[in-house]
Chains A and B, each alone.
Chain A
Amino acid sequence: MKPIDFHLHRPTTLAEAIALLAEHGDDAKVLAGGQSLLPLLNFRLARPEHVVDLGRLTTLRTTRRTTDGLTLGAMVTYARAEASRAVAEDAPLLAAALPFVAHKPVRARGTVGGSIAHGDPAAELPAVIRALDAVMVAAGPRGVRRIPAAEFFVGNLVTALEVDEILTGIDVARPARGTGAAFTEVGRRQGDFALVGAGAQVTVADGVVVDVRIALTGIAGVPHRATEAETLLTGVPPADLDLDAAADATRAVIAPSGDLHATADYRRDVAGVLLGRVVATAVERATGHAHRAA
């Protein structure tokens, strides 16, 4: 199908873009890379009167390293982020997840900020950003707001962004030395939205796991951070990690829904299996040693 007729705005400054959103409010949608919005427009699931394209805001396309970590511009494409050494070093979990996002042609256009602002709980980036406790930087008529990931993802495709706010960047804190990360997913076809995805970033210092962050996709209405498993794994020497117990702890608290593609029980079970695998791989990458089951 084809989209309804709409007015396209292609502002060249952030101030202009914010003014357009302030003017059109609920009747406007923000266009980033378009890899989620254009399908919604084509199906007429989204019927905005105004579309504000951020494509000309070149300032949102830069990745900057700061003293504490990384500021990713919202309009940085997946492909750019995937090729970035700064992302690989400062946000290894994000780097591990990026190759799992759709297919190359989608990664060439789709943007980091677009995925996060879309807030799909089945997508890789919102889950990873949630687990990394990244901070979303939003600009609007009332100024700039910094929104922690824990408060950003409100519901299925619903975020804390107001209708007149634009996500401009994402701040990710640099992990300590001795950090490794891994991501994997299970789906029917490579490149599709996965049934379940899991990512882990683990920091090992002085022979114990000092920081674990676990992200799960596809098992809840919002991107899930598996804090219940993280608690069990923190403070434990890598060789003594009980990954089965961590997996079971997560299975006990998640409530995935079933559909045509997979039952709820299957998703719950797979979430635990993938959780164990990504933690084991992340530990291995953090320490340089293969993880042995306790």
Chain B
Amino acid sequence: MGSTHEVTVDVNGRSRRATVAARTSLADFLRDELNLTGTHLGCEHGVCGACTVLLNGTPVRSCIMLAAQADGESVTTIEGLSDEHGNLNPVQEAFCRSHALQCGFCTPGMVLAVQSLVDTVEEPTREDIDEAIGGNICRCTGYVQIREAARSAVEEARCARAATGAGGAR
């Protein structure tokens, strides 16, 4: 038998304590222990990007990170973007508006990748958008609508900042 580990992980703003087996990936921990099944598992070797979550605000692949390595860290999953009533956040709305999904399998990873771009880059270029979603594979859309959703989300964030006079992306 392998070892087990006590972990405390902040998931979507809520502190979660659990005992995990050493071999448990962060993705399996989120899905099987916390029932946060919005994190999808595709390739399980870090290629497809479906399992992307934000670790302390930065996109990472949760299938090639151990749950034990997330001890003391902060994780945002797709469930953490909408509000408590289930209202979609602006990036999610942009995906709907732009018809940026078909089967939906890659969508949680795509949305979180775009969310990180919106949060961290004030005036992203087309190249920045491609770089942000470059590690996520979509087999339905051909990416055109996803790029459009990202562009739309970026534009909306810019307008929102201008309207509130906020200091810009962190």
Contact = CB atoms under 8 A, between A and B. Distances in A.
Interface of A: 1-10, 31, 34-35, 38-39, 41-43, 51, 53, 55, 79, 102-106, 108-109, 190-191
Interface string B23-56: 1010010000000000000001110010010010
Contacts of B46: 35, 38-39, 106
Nearest to B51: A105
Interface in B66-106: 66, 68-69
B2 interface: yes
B5 interface: yes
Given A8-B5, A8-B22, A190-B134, A42 B66 contact: no
Given A8-B2, A104-B131, A105-B135, A38 B64 contact: yes
B18 interface: no
Contacts of A5: 1-2, 21-23
B114 to A, nearest CB: 12
A103 B135 contact: yes
Interface string B131-142: 110110000000
A10 B45 contact: no
Contacts of A103: 49, 134-135
B66 A34 contact: yes
Contact of B49 (A1, A42, A79, A105): A105
B44 A10 contact: no
Contacts of A41: 23
Nearest to A5: B2
B59 interface: yes
Contacts of A109: 55, 60-61, 64-65
A3 B23 contact: yes
A105 B133 CA distance: 10
Contacts, number: 92
B155 to A, nearest CB: 21
A2 B25 CA distance: 8
Contacts of A191: 134-135
Question: Max chain A CB contacts within 10 Å: which of B2, B52, B63, B64?
Answer: B64
B3 interface: yes
Contacts of B65: 34, 38, 109
A42 B64 contact: yes
A291 B134 CA distance: 32
Contact of A106 (B2, B55, B61): B61
B59 A104 contact: yes
Contacts of B3: 6-9
Question: Max chain B CB contacts within 10 Å: which of A8, A43, A53?
Answer: A8
19 contacts: A2-B44, A4-B23, A5-B2, A5-B23, A6-B22, A7-B3, A10-B5, A34-B65, A38-B25, A38-B63, A38-B66, A53-B66, A55-B69, A102-B135, A104-B131, A105-B61, A106-B61, A108-B55, A109-B65
A43 B47 CA distance: 13
Given A8-B66, A39-B46, A105-B52, 11 more contacts: A2-B23, A2-B25, A2-B28, A5-B2, A34-B66, A55-B69, A103-B135, A105-B59, A108-B60, A109-B55, A109-B60
Contacts of B59: 104-105, 108
A43 B23 contact: no
Contacts of A10: 5, 68
A35 B55 contact: no
Contacts of B21: 5
B58 interface: yes
Contacts of A79: 58
Contacts of A106: 46, 61, 135
Nearest to A37: B64
B95 to A, nearest CB: 19
A39 B135 contact: no
Contacts of A108: 55, 58-60
